[in-house]
Amino acid sequence: MANSLQHIAIIMDGNGRWAKKRLMPRTVGHVKGAANVRHMVKACADAGVSYLTLFAFSSENWRRPPEEISALMGLFLQYLESEVAEMKAAGIRLRVIGDRSAFAPLLQSRIDQAEQETAHNSRLHLTIAANYGGQWDVLNAMRSWQAANPGKQLQDLDASGLAAHLSTADLPDPELLIRTGGESRISNFLLWQTAYTELYFTDAFWPDFDAAALTQAIHWFEQRVRRFGRTDDQVAENPVAAPGEQLSTAPLVPPAFKIS
């Protein structure tokens, strides 16, 4: 039986190299990359995927040259201004995760507006990670848990308690993470949420990653044996792992367990 797939997360890498290969400025690669976001949202909706999370700007991307940062901010703003009406009509709910307080007031207000205007949609949940870092998310979740539970000690915090305070608290964990651009790393993306995610790395640069490439990644995912710590035989007996099984709050070692 093929694995079920609800949530795809993507690290959209390779815009700069796509442009360089064509002797064009890096920003042209980002323009192409932004156009591809539009295509990929449609391709995911067509494939029946319910959640798509895209890494658009990491907390480390502030280290880039200022003109590239402004180009990326401009593209994000333009994307929000040009796509929201269509998202509303197409049943797409947009959310942005990350520390948005660092963005210009106009961009912040467009983000708020887009989130509000699409809040009732549910065909595809599109989440854009902007000024996002996985370490920031986990630290933030711990602080938020502490603020919500002032009388409690850190020993009272368990995995599901922390997950409830992550920026992705309303989303299932991604089953598949795709990274384009030939690198094989997570780069501080959804560190907690990808604990049991299948990782798919492709050499294709992001502007070239099209619907056919997405289908190939989904087929690859469907063939994976997802064990969540169990043996192959156990998986063969009971192939469907309970959602969130890997974050079980029950002790993983049974109390009466003895080594014989």
Contact footprint for ligand FPP (CB under 6 A): 12-17, 30, 33-34, 37, 54, 56, 61, 72, 75-76, 79, 128, 181, 206
Say whether 61 is catalytic.
yes
Closer to ligand FPP by Cβ: residue 15 or 197: 15
Residue whose beta carbon is closest to ligand FPP:
16
Closer to ligand FPP by Cβ: residue 145 or 206: 206
198 contacts 227 by C-beta, under 8 angstroms: no
51-58/198-201 β-pairing: unpaired
Closer to ligand FPP by Cβ: residue 10 or 176: 10
Strand partners, 147: none
Min CB(133)–ligand FPP separation in Å: 13
Min CB(140)–ligand FPP separation in Å: 21
Say whether 158 is catalytic.
no
User: Which of 3, 61, 140, 188 is an active site residue?
Assistant: 61
Task: Write the CA distances from 157 to 20, 148, 163, 194, integer angstroms.
Answer: 48, 12, 10, 20
User: Could you tell me what percentage of the chain is helix, strand and coil, using 3-state DSSP and rounding each to the nearest 5?
Assistant: 45, 15, 40
User: Which of 13, 15, 137, 173 is an active site residue?
Assistant: 13
Closer to ligand FPP by Cβ: residue 13 or 173: 13
Min CB(4)–ligand FPP separation in Å: 26
Q: How far apart are CA 149 and CA 157, in angstroms?
A: 10
Q: How far apart are CA 61 and CA 142, in angstroms?
A: 24
**134, exposed or middle or buried, with CB in 10 Å at 0-12, 13-18, 19+?**
buried
Min CB(14)–ligand FPP separation in Å: 4
The catalytic residues are 13, 61
